[in-house]
Amino acid sequence: MVKKDFLSLEGFTKNQLDQLIKEAIVLKDERSKGLLRDTLKGKSIAMLFEKPSTRTLVSFDVGIYELGGHTVTLPSSSLGGREAFEDIANTLNRYVDAIIIRTFHQDSLERFSKAANVPVINALSDKFHPCQILADYQAIIEHKGQGHLKVAYLGDGFNIANSLLQLCSIVGYDLYIATPIGYEPHKDHVEAAKVAARNTGSKIIISNNPYEAVQGADIIYTDTWTSMGLEEESHVRIPLFQHYQVNSHLLVEAKPDAKVMHCLPAHRGQEITNEVIDGEQSVVFDQAENRLHAQKAILISLFK
């Protein structure tokens, strides 16, 4: 069901995403009973990270090991202009069965995808973080079951917001994104979500009003105000984003049983307070755990 590559959620149907989550939930249950599969026996997978990672790198490494495969993690300097992306991809084609890559620019990912004749998985780019959002969908299903939900996203209209636009428009959740002026998601991603939403009835609302976004929400999601690679902008961003902090005052506007989500790493005291991230409504470590199970489901689907 996952085609050659897994670069974003574009083109997936709700049924296909639900099948992946169903598989991820079975894999989670099997693992809790000590049962592991050998789908990747004899397979080697290269991992390239242009920027730091804790969750993505470890969950892929452990997940591939648990499926019987082997990983090779290249030093980030391999991607640092030593040679063309196409030459790296063409070389890896001769050694490995798949490539997992985290890049600064979507363009680099797409160049890799074109040059590679093995599957390429997006481990985060400036446009999308599909592995994260699939794991998050698993957490939402586990906590809320199937059904219509209102999702509020507060903060920067960057990779996580773009992937949420894809997810919500595909599965039929209403998505309210509130960002400071000038930090809205790119109109191309919003338009694409609105087109997908025509089939599912999901409402896609982009505003600069965090209270309106959170009103009656089932899910409140936030991400760092300063993504990796944009650190020099943080002194400009921090004052502009203050009203978008997920804190206890804002949380009371949501449904009493709303869940709070964050992809991590979190900047405690900026986009989210300690009280909220450590509070009862937070599911952030379930999201982190599900990276392992959801990514195994993606890998199994790629190698079927």
The catalytic site residues sit at 102, 129, 132, 223, 263, 291
Residue 28 binds which of ligand CP, ligand NVA, none (CB < 5-8 A, kind-dependent): none
Q: Smaller CB distance to ligand CP: residue 129 or 237?
A: 129
Cβ–Cβ < 8 Å for 49, 123 = yes
Closest CA to 14 of 173, 204, 221, 191: 173
Q: Which is nearer to ligand NVA, 39 or 159 (CB)?
A: 159
Q: Is 124 in the site for ligand CP (CB under 6 A)?
A: yes
Question: Which listed option, ligand NVA, ligand CP, none, makes contact with residue 295 (CB within 5 to 8 Å by class)?
Answer: none
Contact 200, 166 (CB under 8 A): no
What's the min distance (Å) between Cβ of 264 and ligand CP? 5
Site residues for ligand NVA, window 148-167 (CB under 6 A)?
Answer: 158-160
Q: Tell me the window of 90-98, 190-198, 200-208, 221-229 that interacts with ligand NVA (CB under 6 A).
A: 221-229
Given ligand NVA, ligand CP, none, residue 273, with its beta carbon under 5 to 8 Å by kind, binds none
Binding map of ligand CP across residues 49-68, x = CB under 6 A, - = no contact:
----xxxx------------
Does residue 248 bind ligand CP (CB under 6 A)? Answer: no
- Distance between CA atoms of 297 and 39, rounded to whole angstroms? 11
Binds 54: which of ligand NVA, ligand CP, none (CB < 5-8 Å by kind): ligand CP
Question: Among residues 265 and 269, whose Cβ is nearest to ligand CP?
Answer: 265
Say whether residue 159 binds ligand CP (CB under 6 A): no
The helix or strand, by DSSP H or E, that contains position 150, with its residue range, turns out to be: strand 150-154
**Smallest gap from residue 227 Cβ to ligand CP (A):** 10
Least Å distance, CB 225 to ligand CP, is: 15
Distance CA 152, CA 164 (A): 10
Rounded to a whole number of angstroms, the CA Rg of the chain reads 19
CB of 185 closer than 8 Å to CB of 161: yes
One residue of 36, 264, 289, 303 binding ligand CP per CB under 6 A: 264
DSSP letter for each residue of 233-283: GHHHHHHHHGGG-B-HHHHTTS-TT-EEEE-S---BTTTB-HHHHTSTTB-
CB 178 within 8 A of CB 154: yes
Label residue 87 exposed, middle or buried (CB < 10 Å: 0-12, 13-18, 19+): exposed
Tokens of 155: 């903060």
Binding residues for ligand NVA, how many (CB under 6 A)?
10
At 151 the three-state DSSP class reads strand
The residue ranges that bind ligand NVA (CB under 6 A) are 124, 129, 158-160, 223-224, 227-228, 263
